[in-house]
Amino acid sequence: MEATVAQKQQVREGWETEGHPLLESWERMEEKIGLDLERTARETKALQRKREIGSAKDLLRLILFYVSSNWSLRLVGAWALLNGIGFLSDVAILKRVRNSQRWIGTLVVGLLQKRATALQSMSGVRLRVVDATTIGIPGGTGMDWRLHLSIDLGNLCLDEVELTDQRGGESLSRFTAHNNEIMVADGAYPYASGMGPVLQSGAGLVVRIHWRKLPLLGAEGQHFEIIPWLKTLSTLSETSVSMHTPQGQFPLRLIACPLPPEQAAEARRRTRLRHQRKRKRLHENTLLAAGFVLVLTNLAADTWSPQLVLVLYRMRWQIELSIKRLKSLLEFDHVRAKDPRLVQTYLLTKLLLALLIDQMSNHSSLQHPDWFDALERPLSVYRLTALFYDAFRQIIAGPWVSALPLFFRRLQRYLCDSPRARPQQLAWVRAFIQHISASRSFP
């Protein structure tokens, strides 16, 4: 049934009274960052001389549009002219974006610090999932940059991030742990150097391990052999172990869950293929351990049964879905540059967008908590992110189309090619046609 005029007017008034972020202008969106843009831009030397770009707010909008639109630098210049930001060449825009690396990083850190303070003030236990993903540059190997992420599952938001080059390995020490948190990580993180600070903080830890990656100690202080223990298991089991770290020795629980026969066979098949591709010798113990899920935790056994610990570990998959949203919707892996400073500006700005979209999602969760908590018809975070990202891009872009007829003559700088040694074929063809039309006649 179609809505009546009165119902449509009621909907509009409802949006206006709620102050929903979808209908807020760029002026209001700039307020949501909540940081002193002018001061931080000056301190990081992103805005030293206000030539053409008169404010840090305009510079931020220019960078956000460059990153979110995927337009060329010349078209971004045309957009800046139509929005009254400035009459900038493509080279000028390139320099502005490249020199804003530290500034955008400062804004990202500022937002994360404010978020961390707010999250720490909440009561209850926080469940955090950590992981990393690689990002490649054009013509690269696909592992040129690494993005380290921590997600608060209860509030469904990024709470800590770090951007490194390909040499920046995955480690739990990159994240700050607190005693009211449980951190969940996959098999890339069980190293004593990274686990030590988390265990020392009093935080809970659930991490998957490899059968020979981590040296564990048994009840008598002897080296604990995992494979002989696994050979005796046919059901979900656990044993007490301990581990030396730079911060001291900590007691832990090692939980082993045998996979069902079909899943174990598939896991071992993938293990064989992986070793064949890498041309590595496959150890028989690796094949045996592939049929188990090995999880290490410091959670108390009287309140966290082995089954419940495995439930916590299965929640780790949520960060894989979050990374998929970042890459498929926000196009994190669509890097268009090779210059390290330009790449960092690009990726940090994408992170800034992700943090602002988190704010939008949080605003919606407070207005409609039943959508997020429903089990029968749960909210699709993927579709919500797609909706908010597109809305945010429209807010950044602004109503530039209406200015197109007024400034079209000045767009020659952006729409026409630079002088070139070899004439453009289409221009040459048009000139040739004009020449033969003027000099020759046909019967």
Three-class SS of residue 336?
coil
Res 18 pLDDT > 70 = no
Instruction: Please tell me the distance from the alpha carbon of residue 295 to that of residue 25, in angstroms, as a whole number.
Output: 48
**Comparison of pLDDT for 106 and 3, the residue scoring more:** 106
Q: Are 397 and 65 in contact (CB under 8 A)?
A: yes
Give the pLDDT band (50/70/90) at residue 10. Answer: very low
DSSP letters along 38-51, please? HHHHHHTTS-SS-S
C-beta separation of 182 from 203 below 8 A:
yes
Domain ranges for the chain: 12-103+338-403, 202-315
Q: Which is it for the CA torsion 83, 87, 92, 96, positive or negative?
A: negative
pTM check: above 0.75? yes
pLDDT in tens, 176-185: 999 999 999 9
pLDDT of 19 strictly over 70: no
Q: What angle do CA 345, 351, 357 make, to 5 degrees?
A: 140
* pLDDT tops 70 at residue 392: yes
Question: Contact, 386 vs 329, CB < 8 A?
Answer: yes
Question: For residue range 73-111, what is the model confidence (pLDDT) as tens digits?
Answer: 999 999 999 998 999 999 999 999 999 999 999 999 999
Q: Quick: pLDDT tens for 274-293.
A: 989 988 888 899 999 999 99
Q: How far apart are CA 169 and CA 166, in angstroms?
A: 7
- Residue 5 — very low, low, confident or very high, per pLDDT cuts 50/70/90? low
The DSSP secondary structure of 220-270, one letter per residue, reads TSSBPPHHHHHTT-SS-EEEEEEEEETTEEEEEEEEEEEPPHHHHHHHHHH
What percent of the chain has a predicted confidence (pLDDT) above 90? 61
Structure confidence at residue 213 (pLDDT): 81
- Kindly report, residue by residue over 191-236, the tens digit of the pLDDT: 999 999 999 999 999 999 999 888 899 988 889 999 999 999 999 9
